[in-house]
A and B are shown apart, each in its own frame.
Chain A
Amino acid sequence: MTRPMTGLVELAAVTKTYPGDVHALRGVDLTVARGELLAIVGPSGSGKSTMLHMIGTLDRPTTGAVRVAGHDIAALSDRELSALRSRYMGFVFQQFHLAPGVSALDNVADGLLYTGTNRRVRRRRAAAALDRVGLGHRLRHKPSQLSGGEQQRVAVARAVVGDPPLLLADEPTGNLDSMAGADVLAVLAGLHESGTTIAVITHDAEIAGWCHRQVRLRDGLIVDGHDHDDRGPVELLKGGRS
């Protein structure tokens, strides 16, 4: 309890064993510092998503400790964990998980539903968040009226509408073509510029390369966690596209 807080999220000797003796994580130490842009890479089944779930407190480790903003999550109840998620985390998944038949604005506003914000404020901030991801002109559109890239940007807007310090993305461009993927990445880059800490799982070496730091997993262990490249993601993106 008296340990000084060094990172936004800290994993210490975290293991996760699924029923059937599946050792998805086998002792992971990781610190995610504020302001970081972190890539999580590794072969399929290496435990990337499992680790992201640990960082995002969607699940508890089998052994080891997870600390988020100084809270030891082992000591938190389910209610407190939920509150922690709503305050600190934004999630983006490979699937967009948008409610069909519901406008982009209301989909994004749902990102604040569990924060105790009233509806009018939720919708106002949702409009601002959509503006931030370049969809200020698509507020009333239903998901079916949006392209894949636009839908994923709506999902990003929903994740960040509450200004969480940490954005966790699990293969956010996995379902998109490269153009649409680039748009989504540009949005992430912009968010990072304005101070959001981002951890992103990716199979794409180019995307991984654009992050300050890569964490490579294999068989549930971190095999490589080096910093690399001193160029910012924005320049990289620009360089990559021209």
Chain B
Amino acid sequence: MRERLAPGRLSPGDVLRVGAAGLRARPARVILSALGIAIGIATMIAVIGISSSSREQLLRQLDKLGTNLLTVTPGRTMFGDDAKLPTTALAMVQRIRPVRTAAATGSVETSVRRTNHIPETNTGGISVQAASSGLLATLEGAVVKGTWLNDATARQPAVVLGAAAAERLGLARTGVQVWMGGRWFTVIGILGPMPLAPEIERSALIGFPAAEELLGFDGYPTTIYERSSDESVESVREVLPRTVNPSNPEEVSVSRPSDALAAKAAAAGAFTNLLLGLGAVALLVGGVGVANTMVISVLERRKEIGLRRSLGATRGQVRLQFLSESLLLSGLGGVVGAVLGALATAGYAVSRDWPPVVPPWAIGGAVAATLVIGTVAGIYPAMRAARLSPTVALATT
């Protein structure tokens, strides 16, 4: 017969409204204490975002360049001397069935200069190389000025410059002469960038016959480039040493230039731990700031707590009020921080011409972090508020 005394429930909207009311009354303090969280979250999102963007950029580049290019270079003999690739190496490689294209280059012992007045020792880091005609196709490179070597120009004093070589020589057009090995060569072409073969970017390339006839080149190739289908890269890699040098396969070394890019991409994905640590410290400081704000808020609002208790608020509802206030406070910092971090990522990525990437898990992590911080920072102040006796709270002067 006795009536049941059950407290009324607060709707989720009421919980939020009551929590937000506490914040609205003190905007300056709210901004300052949310700032700590915002800085921490922004730092972490930006660190993760920027490294993800750089990784994405490398992966896209890798995708475009392909991973099916292998290079063959001479290793060392068993006596520790520099080995040589046989002159037949290119022909042998071209005979491997899955190989689609292959080309050879050979180092020529000379230098390239604008004029004969510059001393010979001053190479500018540019090497002179004999190149077989398939080199451009095998490297999927492009000629930005002039033409690539053909059967005729391969016999003449004609040279094609890699992008970096042309830049170092200060050359932007064809038809000019450069001084190589005691005679003039005509620049007939300038190549575009070759991310998988930076050594070619730094080279002055001439035909094998011209190198042998005009510069006394010995004819031994120093690098073989080959491309096969993606599936057969591993099998080709296995047969290459024996094919190139059947008598001394151990003197041949094979590598995949795209591996360096892939390693770079993997390294870009591993975040800069120091920066992440800084972000974590900022978050921690932000959390302490929120806790501090909440403790002060509870102290200042004892009368309000007493009043709410007199209106029928249960201890749980008072606790919920301060917990939701704390969660809103850190959540506000988290949202602002996530937006700032994403903007920083986008700004940096665009400035470097990368695709901006902010992984969803980073945003999810930021949300989770702010919820945890808000809860941890709010628990103690909320418990104190809830434990306050209504009469003591009301008697506060």
Contacts and interface: CB of A to CB of B under 8 A. Distances in A.
Nearest to B312: A86
B311 A110 contact: yes
A110 B10 CA distance: 12
B309 A58 contact: yes
Nearest to A111: B311
Contacts of B64: none
A93 interface: yes
B14 interface: yes
Contacts of B310: 56, 58, 85, 89, 91
B7 A58 contact: no
Interface stretch (B49-57, B165-173, B324-332, B386-394): B386-394
B9 interface: yes
Nearest to A82: B314
Nearest to B395: A49
A101 B24 CA distance: 9
Contacts of A78: 314-315
Contacts of A102: 21
Interface string A185-198: 00000000000000
B5 interface: yes
In this complex, the member of A69, A82, A91 whose beta carbon has the largest number of chain B beta carbons within 10 angstroms is A82
Contacts of B9: 116
Given A56-B310, A93-B394, A100-B25, A79 B8 contact: no
B304 interface: yes
Interface in A102-156: 102, 110-111, 113-119
B360 interface: no
Contacts of A114: 7-8, 10, 308, 311-314, 317
A97 B303 CA distance: 7
Contacts of B6: 79-80, 83
Q: SS class of chain B's interface: helix, strand, loop or mixed?
A: helix
A99 B25 CA distance: 9
Nearest to A80: B5
Interface in B1-23: 2-3, 5-11, 13-14, 18, 21
Contacts of A56: 310
Given A56-B310, A59-B389, A82-B312, A113 B21 contact: no
Interface in B165-224: none
B365 interface: no
B66 interface: no
Given A101-B25, A102-B21, A114-B312, A79 B394 contact: no
B143 to A, nearest CB: 72
Nearest to B9: A116
Contact of B8 (A58, A71, A76, A116): A116
A225 interface: no
A180 interface: no
Interface residues of A, number: 38
A101 B21 CA distance: 10
B297 to A, nearest CB: 14
A87 B4 CA distance: 11
Interface string A54-89: 001011000000000111000010111111111101
B113 to A, nearest CB: 80
A80 B314 CA distance: 9
Contacts of A70: 2
Interface in B273-311: 303-304, 306-311
A95 interface: yes
A88 B7 CA distance: 12
Contacts of A85: 309-312
A95 B303 contact: yes
B24 to A, nearest CB: 7
Contacts of A34: none
A212 interface: no
A86 B6 CA distance: 10
B8 to A, nearest CB: 3
A86 B390 contact: no
Contacts of A23: none
Nearest to A85: B312
B316 interface: yes
A97 B304 contact: yes
A237 to B, nearest CB: 27
Nearest to A76: B5
A118 B11 contact: yes
Contact of A79 (B18, B308, B316): B316
B304 A113 contact: no
A114 B5 CA distance: 13
B50 to A, nearest CB: 42
B5 A59 contact: no
Contact of A58 (B2, B11, B303, B394): B394
Interface in B231-273: none
A203 interface: no
A53 interface: yes
Given A82-B313, A114-B10, A99 B391 contact: no
Nearest to A161: B311
A86 B310 CA distance: 8
Given A78-B315, A85-B310, A113 B5 contact: no
Given A59-B391, A118-B11, A119-B11, 13 more contacts: A49-B395, A78-B315, A79-B7, A79-B315, A82-B309, A83-B314, A86-B8, A86-B312, A97-B304, A113-B311, A114-B7, A114-B317, A117-B8
Closest 8 CB pairs of A and B: A86-B312, A116-B8, A114-B312, A80-B5, A83-B5, A82-B314, A83-B7, A91-B310
Interface of A: 49, 53, 56, 58-59, 69-71, 76, 78-87, 89, 91, 93, 95, 97, 99-102, 110-111, 113-119, 158
